[in-house]
Amino acid sequence: RLLIIDFGSQVTQLIARRLRELNVYCEIHPYQNVTDAVLADLAPKAVILSGGPDSVTREGSPRAPDSLWTMGVPVLGICYGQQTMMTQLGGEVHGGKISGGGGTAEFGRAKVTKAADLDLLSGWFADGDEQVWMSHGDHVAKIAPGFEVYGTSPNAPYAILADTARHFYGVQFHPEVHHTPNGAKLYENFVRIAGFIGDWTMDAYKDIAIEKIREQVGDSHVICALSGGVDSSVTAALLHEAIGDQLTCVFVDHGLLRKNEADDVVSMFRDNMNLKVIYAQEQDLFLGQLEGQSDPETKRKIIGGLFIDVFQKYANEIEGAKFLAQGTLYPDVIESVSFSGGPSVTIKSHHNVGGLPEKMGLKLVEPLRELFKDEVRALGHELGLPASFIGRHPFPGPGLAIRCPGEITREKLDILREADAVYIDQIRKHGLYDEIWQAFVAILPVRTVGVMGDGRTYDFACALRAVTSVDGMTADYYPFSHDFLGETATRIINEVAGINRVTYDITSKPPGTIEWE
Ligand code: XMP
C-alpha cells in the first residue's frame, strides 16, 4: 500500500482519488497517528506527505516520523510536506519574503520552468513551462544535502526538489488539483518509480472483500438495512455473494418512497438476486405519527426515531443475528486533521441506524469502508447490479417528507409521486439523467388558481429541482432549456391531477440546500 500522511490540507482526499484512479491502493492517516511504530506496522511501499495549514517555522509544528527517512521507500512531499522534508533533512524553510525575489506568498496559478531532467517529471515540459497550482506562505530557503533543483517558478526557486539516490521528492505546488493539468502524470511517475503495478481493481477487490467477510462473520447471521440506494445495495449484494443465506435484509417502507420504488427494490433483490428480504410495510405507522406535523426538524426526528424502532423490531425476529452490515464509505471514515482554530469539518448527521449496533449487541460489517463512491459503483457493476440501479440519483432517508414542506398528507404524497415520475421520465427521455446529480419535484404547501378547459381550478403548485454537484456539499441548479421546462410543465399539468402550476427552483447551494427541508 501507499501511505498518505495528512498534515491537514483541504485537498488531501484528492491525492487519494488520483492514486485510486491509477489503481493503486492508498490510505490516508493523520500525522498525529503515524508514530514510528505505526509506520513500521503499516509498512508502506511509498509515502506521500500532504500539504497543510501550519508553518514548519513554528515551534512544535507537525513533522513526519523520523524513521521515515531510513525506511528506504520513495517519499513525495507536497507543499507543507516538502517543507517538513527539507527541515527534517537539514535544509531551511523561511516564512515571509524571498530575498531578491518577488512576493511573500503565492496563491493560485503559477508557471514552473524545467531546471534538469527528472524521472518523476517524464511527460512534463513537452510544451515548455508547466502550469501548476501554488498555495503557500513559507518557502524553502536552503535545500537539504543530497537534493537538487529540478524546477523553478518566479516565487518558488525550489519548486521541484529531489534526491534521486534516495527517491525523495518535494514539490511546492499541488499536483492533485485540476489547476495542475499534468498533475496526474506526476503521480503516475511516482507510483511507477515506487514499483506499484496498478492491481487495485474492483474485480480483484471483490474476491478479497468476500474472503474478509467470510473470515469476520464465520457462520453467524448478518442483518442489513436495505434502502435501495447505491451503498446499501452494493453492501447487500456483496454480502450475499460472500455468505448467501446467512444474510437477511430489512427494507422499510415508510410511505415516503417514490412511485413504484418499494416494489422495484424488493422484487429486484428478492426475485432477481435471491436475497432474503423482509419487506416492512410500516406506512401507517410513519404517516400516522407525522399527521399534523409541519416543523422540518420535528418531521425528521419522528422519521429517524421510528426508523430505528422499526428496524430493531424486525431485526429482533431474525434468529442468531450477530452482525449488522452498513455501507459506510471511505470519505466517512477518514479522520480529519483538526487544529485548534483551524478548519473544522462539519459532518452531516443523517438518519441511519447509528447507535443501534451497541444497543442490540451487534458487531458491524462494513465492507465498503475502504472505497470511494465511484469504486462502489464499479464494484456494484462487478456484482451484476444493473447500470440503472448503480447510476441512481441519491435519495434522502426521510424521503418525500422533506420534499413536501409543511404538513404531510396522503393526498399530497400521491400527487408528488405522480409529478416526480413524469419529471424523471422527461429527464431520462431527453438523455439528461446522468448529467444531473439529483432531480426531484417538491410539492408546495399552497394552492393557486388556474383555468383548465372552461373551468376554474384551485390546485397545488409544485417546484422542479435539478442540481449538478460533486459531493452534495455544494450544488448549482441545472440549466435546462426553456423548451424542456415548458414541455415538462405541460406534461405535469396534463397528466397529474391536483397540480395546476409548475415552477423551477434556480437556487444554488449555498445559500439554498438541495432538499426543501
Ligand atoms: P441538502 O438538502 O442538505 O442535501 O443540501 C445534501 C444531500 O444529502 C441528501 N440528504 C439526506 N440523505 N438522509 C440522507 O440519507 C437525510 O436525512 C438527508 N437529508 C439530505 C440530499 O438528498 C442531498 O443529496
174 is catalytic: yes
DSSP-derived secondary structure letter, 47: E
> Of all residues in the chain, what percent carry a pLDDT higher than 70?
94
Q: Could you identify the residue written with the cell 503515524?
A: 34
Pick the catalytic residue: 29, 174, 240, 254?
174
Q: Per-residue pLDDT for 126 more than 70?
A: yes
The pLDDT of residue 101 is 45
The pLDDT of residue 211 is 96
Mean pLDDT over residues 238-257, rounded?
97
Strands (E), 137-219: 139-142, 148-153, 156-163, 168-171
Strands (E), 22-105: 26-30, 46-49, 75-78, 92-94
Which positions ≥6 away from 417 have C-beta within 8 Å? 258, 259, 400
Q: Which atom of ligand 1 is nearest to the CA of 229?
A: 15
Q: Per-residue pLDDT for 350 more than 50?
A: no
**Distance between Cα 514 and ligand 1 center (Å):** 7
The pLDDT of residue 339 is 54
- Give long-range contacts, CB 8 A cutoff, 24+ apart: 359-363: 359/312, 360/312, 360/315, 360/316, 360/324, 362/223, 362/321, 362/322, 362/323, 362/324, 363/322, 363/323, 363/324
Cell numbers at 426, concatenated: 422527461
* pLDDT tens digits along 221-235: 999 999 999 999 999
Cell numbers at 307, concatenated: 426508523
Quick one: 492 exposed, middle or buried, by C-beta within 10 A (0-12, 13-18, 19+)? buried
* Three-point CA angle 307, 243, 374, nearest 5°: 65
Candidates 38, 94, 84, 78; CA nearest to 61 is: 84
Local structure of 126: helix, strand or coil = coil
Question: What is the ipTM, given to two decimal places?
Answer: 0.99
The pLDDT of residue 139 is 87
Yes or no: say if 176 and 76 are a contact pair by the CB < 8 Å rule: no
Candidates 474, 436, 439; CA nearest to 346 is: 474
255 Cβ closer than 6 Å to some ligand 1 atom: no
Q: Which atom of ligand 1 is nearest to the CA of 509?
A: 5
Looking at ligand 1, which residue's alpha carbon is closest to its atom 9?
Answer: 396
407 is catalytic: no
Candidates 6, 73, 85; CA nearest to 43 is: 73
The pLDDT of residue 96 is 65
249 is catalytic: no
Candidates 92, 90, 32, 16; CA nearest to 65 is: 32
394 Cβ closer than 6 Å to some ligand 1 atom: yes
* pLDDT tens digits along 442-489: 999 999 999 988 899 999 999 999 999 987 888 999 999 999 999 999
The pLDDT of residue 343 is 37
The pLDDT of residue 78 is 97
Mean pLDDT over residues 20-48, rounded?
96
Q: Could you identify the residue written with the cell 513500521?
A: 40
Longest dimension (CA), the chain: 89
- Give long-range contacts, CB 8 A cutoff, 24+ apart: 69-72: 69/166, 69/168, 71/39, 71/47
108 pLDDT tier (thresholds 50, 70, 90):
confident
156 pLDDT tier (thresholds 50, 70, 90):
confident
Mean pLDDT over residues 165-169, rounded?
98
Cell numbers at 152, concatenated: 523553478
Torsion of CA 298, 288, 423, 300, to 10 degrees: 20
* pLDDT tens digits along 401-442: 999 999 999 999 999 999 999 999 999 999 999 999 999 999
Q: Which residues in 294-318 are b (16+ Cβ under 10 Å) and which e?
A: eebeebbebbbebbbebbeebbeee
The pLDDT of residue 137 is 81
74 pLDDT tier (thresholds 50, 70, 90):
very high
Alpha-carbon distance of 428 to 24, in angstroms, equals 35
Yes or no: say if 92 and 142 are a contact pair by the CB < 8 Å rule: yes
Domains and CATH numbers, the chain: 2-193 (3.40.50.880), 207-390 (3.40.50.620), 409-504 (3.30.300.10)
Of 350, 474, 507, 516, the residue with max ligand 1 atoms within 8 A of its CB, to mutate for a pocket test, comes to 350
Phi-psi region of 79 (alpha: psi -120 to 50; beta: other; left: phi over 0): left
Looking at ligand 1, which residue's alpha carbon is closest to its atom 14?
Answer: 396
Q: Determine which of 2-6, 16-20, 282-286 has the lowest per-residue pLDDT on average.
A: 16-20
DSSP-derived secondary structure letter, 436: -
Q: Which atom of ligand 1 is nearest to the CA of 398?
A: 17
More confident residue, 236 or 360: 236
**303: amino acid identity, one letter:** I
Yes or no: say if 159 and 153 are a contact pair by the CB < 8 Å rule: yes
pLDDT averaged over every residue in the chain:
92
The length of the chain is 517
The pLDDT of residue 400 is 98
Question: What CA–CA distances, in Å, run from 72 to 16, 66, 238, 409, 495?
Answer: 22, 12, 38, 66, 69
